[in-house]
Structure 1
C-alpha cells in the first residue's frame, strides 16, 4: 500500500526493508534528486494517537544511524537526503494514507 502510494507521487524504489547491523529501514526511495529514507507506520485506530506519533525521538535516532550507515556503505555522503513518514490509518470508513515529507532531521548519534 505504501509503495503504491509513493510511486504515484513520483518516488522510485531503491530498497525495501533494508537491514544492516544497526537496524532496519522500511523504504529507501529517490524523489527527483533527493534520497528519502521512509518509515511506514500503520494503525487501525487513533486510540493511541495518529500513526506518525509512533516515530518517537528514540526511533528517529535509530533511523538516523541506519541512514548514515547506508549513505556511507553506498558512498552517497554527498547526496541530498531526508526522512519521510508514511502514516496509514485503516479505519471502518476505509484507509487514510498521509505522507509527511521532512518528518524529522538527522539525529547525530
Structure 2
C-alpha cells in the first residue's frame, strides 16, 4: 500500500461483490489519523455499492412522475475510510455539483 501524505490518501485493496480484487485511492474521513497498514489490509466494496444503490433508488423514485425516455446521471463519488470501513462520499468536482442529471423526452409527453 502507498500513502500520499499531501492529500491524506492511500492506496488500499478492495474486494468487489463478485470476488475480484482491486486497488483504490482512499482517504481517512473520520479523523482517526494515520495508522500503519500492511498488504493484508483489504476493504469490502459493499458500502460503496450501497451508497450508489441508494442514490439510484432515490433518483428512480423522484423521476417516476416525470417519466423521461432517457436519464443520464453523473455522480462524483470519493472513496474514504470511515470507522475502519470503505465508504462512498458524494463529492463536488471542479466547482460543479456532486450530481448532474440530464432528462430527455422523445415525442409528445
If the length of structure 2 is used for normalisation, what is the TM-score? 0.29
Q: When you count strand as a share of all residues, which structure comes out higher?
A: 1
Q: When you count helix as a share of all residues, which structure comes out higher?
A: 1
| Larger-gyration structure (1/2) | 2
If the length of structure 1 is used for normalisation, what is the TM-score? 0.29
